[in-house]
Structure 1
């Protein structure tokens, strides 16, 4: 399958609870300074002096000795970082990490890539670091966090297991929470892996039981979820996340008094646990105890008077519990604080939309000035303008925001591209993408924009240019599974170069075995080669992960080839728009 979704909401680069930007040799300067400190430069060089290995080195041996070119490139990369040339620093460190196979250089590469907001490079370096330093808990935690950030949940779980074995700490609940919020098709797979891990253990884990409770609840297995939750609290009665989940379960059953009783009992052991107090406030609002909830809010603020994000959390609870007037006032007060102004204006815009005041919503969204909130506010504004037949104004708004926030030129360019593509104006979209590429720093390229450009050329039936764009992208990022899959699928579906396409798709599958799109491409390539039984296996797995018409079409055709006509007709009934015939 050729994946055409280009724009996803931005997420924070690092996942809270796994990674700290303050760790080790990361920068201590603010991002506005865009400079990478180099406290580890001397440490790096000591790894190469006189073949002496420091005590902190792992069993993996250095594969390159100290020499003039190596020293030159290390120092030039550090100097480049200090002079704000992060692209060069990252390029050099990435090459050296692969060349030397040294864990410290791989670690340094990952942190530079994170600081430079290059998530793919950061992930590649972190996985290399974790591979080269299997006994380093920080390496395992970093790899897990970045895999989670890239929605590779099963691989993240494997690194979390390693992290727990090395450090004694676990983060399975955070992984499960993130996955359940995404409604991802691998929830069942992750539940099974966690269940198998539980059965292997001699000592029970409250965190693992809570994660299993979250996943089984998401799978609709409420009795199983309750049993996991009971086990989690039996192991650790003070497990805050388990207590939150149990309170949520009681509220869903309408048993607000029992939920509040549970939380108040837990607060006797943890009287300053803000998360539990927030659950109390949520329960009180849900049950209509408004005055008591206000007192709880005051208590929370008194517990942490300097914690402004807590006030934003209170506003979110007010919205969740439909206390909209109170939420608006809370958010208006928060717009006076720079730290929370953008998020507050974004939420105020969403509340105005709820009230069907789209022009007021636009005014609120226009107050957002930076970061992820600016992208989300611009997305919402564009949607409102298009809904009100003002598409040209929407594109002008994106251009204005793109000029105001050049650091966000890539996501904003993709937003404009999506707008033009929806209007079927592929030539204008192509020109728009190229204008976004022109806004990038000198000698810098965006793989996201190259991918967008390739898909537009696909729509324009310029397969040669599409292939050139994807090859350019792969020259920058050889392990980009999405690009490998797109190029492979196009060769399989549109040309006679099926075997060449299959090789590309197989490489993509090796990099990301969970993608429904890649599984579909692999199945379709095998179908084209007449390997129908093998094709069926991959296409059934793809459809199990993503019930989408193109995958269904491929699966139906395999059913017919294998004379599974009843299964083909049953599936075809769900997609009458396909208009397929058995001889196709």
Structure 2
């Protein structure tokens, strides 16, 4: 980089010697020989001085001394008035954020080279950086006039050029001033619409977009912008607008895709599917279309279409093949095709679905009785983020828990908590696992730590309250904790179950019965059934209790809590 700058400095210096300043020696030709300076000596002196000053400027910049570099180039530019030197001096001053100096140099540059588009562009950029929009309009107008061939394109670039300016109202005013003389061009109205939208002047933006479409009715970008503005007020208006445009312009791919997505947002899946089917017909190998069609088919329960489109994606240039294998693995798993599912999950090697795929593969191994292989798979998987690492730990602890190895599961969680002591998910799971291995003190410790981090964690409040209620201790405090949890999640059947259980422990049988019946209506869970059955039994409604427990046990033969209740109250 330094050598390039030195070479550029030498080029500028040599150019000056044989250019404008070099002519000064020739001007003296008419003078008497005895008084005339030596032309060669003057030229060499100028060359040496110019090269020295240019090198001083470049070496200073390389050392990070922006002030000295800018001073050197500014002095050289003002003395030589050479356009190339002025350009470099302007650039250096701008990079040093000496905007006043850079603007003064750009004015001198335009004075020397009034028709220079580069000079005017530099001055416009500097005015934007210096946030002097009031001086910018004449420069932008001149630039637009100098390039009439690309007038429409340049109008479209106005907002992008001004995008970093924070005062969006000022930008809107500037764009209006510059673009309004060209109101016969659709691009002018589109530029004014963009500026208005950025300034949250939605009505004006919509009006200008309509004017752009009146001048160019088939302009897809304008139709999309109009629909986006309309959707802020009414999704249906945006749908109607795009529907009319697509009917008039059947090959408008982006507009049709936007319309289909709006239908999805409104859960009008059949309408969305109709448009996606047309898009697929016109673009059968387009991954960006095949993917949403596959997802929409799965959403509608059309598993055959969903599968075929996902399999098709594997033979396209779709970038995220791992996600496709994950969804195909899910389909196979749901259809009890364990080997095929496992093969797909193994091919998920990266991306958002990686940890989920490894977890599902571990579950498949567990179902095949390969417990150690499942644990090793998760234990040896490396998560890229702290969240992924905790997800892998939770999956491993779940595998161990389902295998009945509760102590091992707790050990995995404890080790993870040493690395992430404030992780809410790990704390909650460790608390529940501690309860399973008969360590109520550890359960309380984890839950209290979690509640110190998240006082409104409804499930932690419920778990701590239920633990006390189940052990028949600290019942008023347990009731208060569960009541607070219930206020946060009033429709949660498991928190209702906890409330029913603590009310039962407090001897409030009628309230307990009412609460447990409500919970069981929402969720026919075996543990809720066990609690409800016990309350019915104590209320001497033994026949009802027996029928409830028998039906629940038939549906959930392996539930330990329910099994214990059936055994306890068996006649």
Length-normalised TM-score, structure 2:
0.48
**Highest relative contact order (Cα 8 Å, sep 6+), 1 or 2?**
1
Name the structure with the higher helix share: 2
Q: Which protein shows a greater Rg?
A: 2
Normalised TM-score (structure 1):
0.47
